């Protein structure tokens, strides 16, 4: 039987919970597709439960990130392989969904852009590259490393550099006592256990990381006032579908008719938050604008400001 060795000639450490064999799937090659899918789904459900257990720690990370971005700083994700791709996707979707500035949440992938589409697996072992990629991290930023194994050298380099530069740090890992845990101010360590396909952390370990990260970034954007109720009031209408969604959001959020919503959105120059503030308060977009600007673009605060002005 072939041995897997590291570059030093030593047997690679494959004793992690994410690397050992899962007794539920030792006959995987003999199973029908339906049973394979059932097993994967069962394990994904377990990963979601592990993410739920980490909510207290994740909420601490949200608070740190809200404070950082509100103070003009940034959040940085660092990851390799599946972890890095999950991080990159999460960061990329924040602009169209929340109109979040691209510098607010930035993703850094081991191996660079090429690794997003093609496997560059050796990139995860480059500690120095992680340090170099974190070179622009500033004091007051929040740096989040994603490493299913909890020991990825690239992520370790990034967290080491970030701490040296005065940033707050976090690690999202899929083992209970990750090797890099001491580098994290906020540790989010699930215990997802062995995969249905041994060592394939693109499965439930990836599910855990996706659940934690998408929950984190959504709560972050809500905390920054980029939603109103459960509506995406900060989204960018870049096509006809999204323009129609803007009209529907405006109707649902303010109770106005479709014709009024269309008119308000036009008067607001396509600014959905301004149109919504106008529609809810009953004042014109022109009158609502200074209140929304004073409120930093937060609809709820703008409405409170308008209410106070009306009471005077």
Q: Which residues carry out catalysis?
A: 93, 124
Q: 272-281 and 258-267 helices cross at what angle (nearest 10)?
A: 120
Please list, residue by residue across 30-39, b when 16 or more beta carbons sit within 10 angstroms of its beta carbon and e when fewer do: eeeeeeeeeb
Give the strands of the sheet with 105-109, arranged side by side. 105-109, 75-79, 142-147, 168-173, 186-189
Measure the CA–CA gap between 127 and 112, rounded to whole angstroms. Answer: 14
Measure the CA–CA gap between 183 and 84, rounded to whole angstroms. Answer: 18
Cβ pair 76, 48 in contact under 8 A: no
Cβ pair 28, 196 in contact under 8 A: yes
Per the document, the length of the chain is 312
Alpha helices in the chain (DSSP H): 33-53, 55-70, 81-92, 94-98, 114-117, 127-133, 153-164, 204-223, 240-254, 258-267, 272-281, 285-294, 299-311
């Amino acid at each position: 039987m072939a041995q897997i060795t590291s570059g030093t000639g030593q047997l690679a450490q494959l004793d992690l919970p994410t690397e050992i064999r899962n007794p539920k799937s030792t006959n995987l090659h003999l199973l029908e597709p339906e049973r394979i899918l059932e097993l994967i789904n069962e394990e994904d459900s377990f990963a979601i439960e592990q993410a739920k257990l980490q909510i207290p720690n994740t909420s601490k990370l949200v608070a740190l990130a809200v404070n950082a971005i509100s103070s003009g700083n940034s959040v940085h994700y660092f990851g390799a392989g599946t972890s890095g791709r999950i991080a990159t996707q999460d960061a990329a979707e924040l602009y169209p969904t929340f109109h979040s500035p691209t510098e607010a949440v930035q993703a850094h992938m081991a191996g660079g852009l090429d690794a997003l589409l093609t496997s560059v697996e050796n990139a995860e072992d480059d500690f120095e590259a992680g340090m170099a990629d974190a070179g622009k991290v500033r004091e007051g930023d929040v740096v989040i490393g994603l490493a299913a194994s909890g020991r990825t050298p690239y992520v370790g380099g990034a967290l080491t550099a970030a701490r040296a530069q005065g940033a707050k740090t976090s690690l999202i890992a899929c083992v209970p006592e990750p090797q890099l845990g001491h580098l994290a101010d906020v540790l989010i360590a699930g215990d997802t256990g062995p995969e249905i396909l041994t060592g394939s952390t693109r499965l439930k370990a990836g599910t855990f990381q996706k659940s934690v990260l998408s929950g984190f970034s959504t709560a972050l954007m809500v905390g920054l006032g980029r939603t109103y109720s459960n509506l995406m009031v900060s989204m960018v209408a870049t096509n006809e579908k999204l323009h129609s969604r803007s009209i529907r959001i405006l109707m649902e959020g303010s109770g106005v008719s479709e014709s009024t919503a269309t008119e308000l959105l036009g008067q607001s120059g396509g600014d959905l938050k301004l149109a919504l503030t106008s529609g809810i308060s009953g004042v014109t977009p022109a009158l609502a604008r200074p209140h929304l600007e004073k409120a930093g673009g937060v609809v709820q605060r703008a409405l409170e400001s308008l209410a106070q002005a009306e009471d005077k």
